[in-house]
Structure 1
Amino acid sequence: MFSKSRFKVLRTLAFRLTLWYAGVSIFSSGIAFLLFYVFINTFLQNATDQELLSRDKELSSLMHLNGIEAVKRVVVLEAQAAGEKKIFVRLLYPDGTTFSSSNMSFWKNIEISRESLKKLLQDQKPVIETTAISQKHKVRILYGIIGPGILLQLGQSMENQTRFIEAFQRMFMAVMAALIVFSAWIGWFMARRATLGVEAVTKTAKYIAEGAMDERVPLNQRDDEINELAMTFNRMLDHIQTLVQNIKDISDNIAHDLRSPITRIRGLAEVTLITPGPMNEFENMAASTIEECDRLLDMINTMLVISKTEAGVVKKENDLISMDKLAEQACELFLPAAEDKDIVLAFRNEGPFQIHGDRPMIQRMIANLLDNAIKYTPSGGSVTLRTYVDSGKTGCVEVMDTGIGISQKDLDPIFERFYRCDQSRSMPGTGLGLSLAKAMVRSHGGTISVTSTPGKGSIFLIRLPLAEPLQK
């Protein structure tokens, strides 16, 4: 059980982020310490070289002023003063023969480099090299010329520098060990803090999977990516919940609207079968059955068109449509129906405009609005179809009637599928006309809205993006 839990922790995003943070921190610190180590090592070596060069110049000056004997005495005194294990001096002839030196008992293993002497005599410049007495003890040696035919081998122990570097290395290891622990702890803390929002999203998703559709991800006070993810996730959940509720409502409405015509069809068939009668009764039953079936098919086809249009899977044409001409044609088409009800149907072209769109869809959209306006306007009323351009940005199609109107509580859900106001339930219809109109308007990048006063009439306004300025 413990192994499984540990393995699960190793696979978490927080653990991987911790490794990345600790790895980057350790790598960066290691590079910084390495550069500092190289800098310190170079600085100490340069300081030793400058000291050796300074002594070389002093002995050269002494040689010119007081001669070789003075140099011999000073060499011995300096070695004794500094410590015979700290420096040594040899005076050489150009062939490498030693003719004077300080106490060399500690430095007896230090040989004279023939290559360094050759380079010194060739370049006439001091030559400095490093020689190791043991694994930990190194010596910095200078070869120089202090006078005619007199060469100098001056060595200085680097023991102090070596001890300093070793202390620095020990400190580096201790600091790195502490840094690994500290980086891992800080990395884990920051990773856990960063992934708390992800865990909240995961936990909420699990609750929702178990059926708690009202659960939402809690938001924090920080305006960061995790908070934005939580807000986006919550908006998605709201949208999904709305869709689920819509599907439920649609299912209920479909069940109700399908049940009524099917019940009528069955009732007609049952009455006709159990009641003896002439052949024309069977013909009437068949005609009524066909009528109800047509109504069902029309409702189902309309629902399919709405769903496909909202999903964007309907292949639309991209015709250049003159909306004023199309609206005028729609008025001419509905004029007989308006005259039958003694309704005045008028068209007002207050601003011609063009759009890009699917002509049959636009025609059906306007037809639905005109059909509703005429249907719910009593005799003696009027219906006006108006086209105009709003501030030169959008084209507007307005259907205004003097009908029964829509109450305030019905204005928001009026475009929902199968929704019918109380006043309209006595009229024939499926409650899909306005839903279809809205879907078609939105598929063309437009909007549809309604304002209404009960008992005085309604105004449906469609706004569509303009295609291009009209050619004069």
Structure 2
Amino acid sequence: MSFGRITKLPHTLAFRLTLWYTIVFILSAAIAFALFYILIVRIFDQRTDADLLTAANRLNQIYLLEGSQMLQDAALLQAQAAGEQKMFFRLFYPSGVFFASSNLSYWRDIGIDRAAVDAVLEDGLPYRYVTQPLPGQSYEARVVYMRIGNAIMLQLGYSLESESRLLMTFGRTFLMTMAVLLLIAVGVGWFMARRALSGVASVTHTAQRISGNDLDTRVPLEHRHDEIDQLAVTFNQMLDRIQLLVGGIRQMNDNIAHDLRSPITRIRGLAEVTLTGDTGIAEYSHMAASTIEECDRLLQMINTMLTISRTEAGVDHKTFQTVDLAAIVRDACGLFQPLCEDKNIELQCDAPDACLISGNEALLQRLVANLIDNAIKYTPVQGWVRVGVEHRGAYVQTRVQDSGAGILPEDCERVFERFFRGDQSRSQSGAGLGLSLALAIARAHGGEIALQSQPGTGSTFAVKIPATADSIQTP
């Protein structure tokens, strides 16, 4: 391969297809490895935790049935049977005073995790797992803390050395396998790209021959009924039309020449006596075809973003009409009632009187629905959501209150930002645009949304929108 062809290689479609194929293959393999790695780690953790818990429960039963001396003997025997570098135990009082342990020469750098001890003693947990590092080692230890009886704490640990080495071996094997598969992927990708583009090369060669005035040449069909065959058929059909048009132009030129020959001969014969002239006719025609590429993307997030942008830019007040916000609230509560029943959430609706405002009914329905949906989403089972609407002077106020987890104070000012999602809402579905849209709709109607929330006490969203002049209630 010449140097010129090598320099042109990165610009070829075959090279780019091979590169993309290789990248997709490597990413897919890496994702598969990561998922498999996570699965193996989880299986190891579950097995280790189960073994630790079984051993701890066995020691607890021995203590309850036979006393502390048998507990020490059984724990020591169990640690020795597993191997002093594989398992260890400590027995200590809640004050931190030790009274029994296995051989800790290998485990002396592992102390007591006071947070785990407090979780068992003060929070009432039956046991607590922690993973503690081993200084100077590339692996860790899995430790369980459990109350034995009423006055003894057990620290039982298990070395993760064998699991860590197995995972390291798995990682090295994956890297070596990927190196081999990478070469195979490049070769297969290049072969597939060249084979797929062979039809394109035929079209190119045919087009080059046509430039030499050979309109009878056609692209050979592979009869694979794929996109390349469709391209070849379309190209051949275009050549048929061009050949037909060129043939028509040639026939027209022949007819013009034949019809003009006789009178020109006569005129020339008459003019030769006095003047000699020369006449010529030239005409050239060129046709071109273009392909129109259509792109249509209908994603809900983009539509919502466009709705927010249009709403923030200003809603056409010609679409405003007198709207009963209380009726919208009642309809929305009726719509969400089945969902609340499924989630065992009590939905209370307080919208007895008509509350008239001027606005776009469809946008107001979306505002109320977003707030109610947001409240239901973050309310736990057996919680409640209260929705109410009432006159407040020159405004109509809609309140949506829930008994959910609440919002952190530092997040309250950011919940209306686009795509913002607090740590407590990461597990919920959504893109973080619902409250942004609600605020945009409220402001488009001359209103505002206020938020009151504390962690653990729920949240209250209050929407104030100016009431119509004839519905303003004076105190």
TM-score bucket (shorter structure) = 0.5 to 0.7
State which of 233, 258, 279 in structure 1 corresponds to 2:260: 258
Cα offset, 1:255, TM superposition: 1.0
State which of 222, 226, 229 in structure 2 corresponds to 1:227: 229
SS in 1 for 2:179: helix
2:374 aligned residue: none
1:212 aligned residue: 214
SS in 1 for 2:218: coil
1:120 aligned residue: 120
1:240 aligned residue: 242
Q: Which runs of 5+ in 1 are unaligned?
A: 274-299, 308-472
Moved more, 46-55 or 178-187: 178-187
CA contact (8 A) 1:90 1:152 kept: yes
2:131 aligned residue: 130
Report Cα offsets for 1:17-64 as digits up to 9, x if no partner. 111111111111211111111111111011101111111111111010
SS in 2 for 1:96: coil
Give the TM-score taking structure 2 as reference length. 0.55
CA contact (8 A) 1:96 1:117 kept: no
CA contact (8 A) 1:120 1:144 kept: yes
Kindly provide the amino acid, as one letter, of the partner of residue 144 in structure 1: M
Report Cα offsets for 1:124-176 as digits up to 9, x if no partner. 32111111213412110111111121110000011111111111111221222
Separation in structure 2 between the aligned mates of residue 74 and residue 182 of structure 1, nearest angstrom: 56
1:417 aligned residue: none
| Percent sequence identity over aligned pairs | 48
2:70 corresponds to 1:70: yes
1:163 aligned residue: 165
Report Cα offsets for 1:356-399 as digits up to 9, x if no partner. xxxxxxxxxxxxxxxxxxxxxxxxxxxxxxxxxxxxxxxxxxxx
Kindly provide the amino acid, as one letter, of the partner of residue 101 in structure 2: S
Larger helix proportion, structure 1 or 2?
1
CA contact (8 A) 1:96 1:114 kept: no
Separation in structure 1 between the aligned mates of residue 229 and residue 272 of structure 2, nearest angstrom: 63
Separation in structure 1 between the aligned mates of residue 270 and residue 195 of structure 2, nearest angstrom: 70
2:87 aligned residue: 87
SS in 1 for 2:122: helix
SS in 2 for 1:123: coil
SS in 2 for 1:106: coil
Separation in structure 2 between the aligned mates of residue 269 and residue 7 of structure 1, nearest angstrom: 65
Kindly provide the amino acid, as one letter, of the partner of residue 85 in structure 2: K
Number of residue pairs aligned between Structure 1 and Structure 2: 276
Kindly provide the amino acid, as one letter, of the partner of residue 50 in structure 2: Q
State which of 166, 175, 179 in structure 2 corresponds to 1:177: 179
Separation in structure 1 between the aligned mates of residue 206 and residue 262 of structure 2, nearest angstrom: 42
Separation in structure 1 between the aligned mates of residue 269 and residue 228 of structure 2, nearest angstrom: 60
2:204 aligned residue: 202
Separation in structure 2 between the aligned mates of residue 130 and residue 96 of structure 1, nearest angstrom: 20
SS in 2 for 1:211: coil
1:450 aligned residue: none
Separation in structure 2 between the aligned mates of residue 225 and residue 8 of structure 1, nearest angstrom: 25
Kindly provide the amino acid, as one letter, of the partner of residue 131 in structure 1: Q
Separation in structure 2 between the aligned mates of residue 8 and residue 240 of structure 1, nearest angstrom: 32
Give the TM-score taking structure 1 as reference length. 0.56
Separation in structure 2 between the aligned mates of residue 215 and residue 11 of structure 1, nearest angstrom: 28
Rate the CA distance shift 1:110–1:270 in 2: closer, same or farther, 3 A.
closer
Moved more, 100-109 or 2-11: 2-11
Runs of 4+ in 1 over 3 A off after TM superposition: 264-271
1:295 aligned residue: none
Separation in structure 1 between the aligned mates of residue 215 and residue 121 of structure 2, nearest angstrom: 93
Rate the CA distance shift 1:269–1:168 in 2: closer, same or farther, 3 A.
closer
Cα offset, 1:269, TM superposition: 6.6
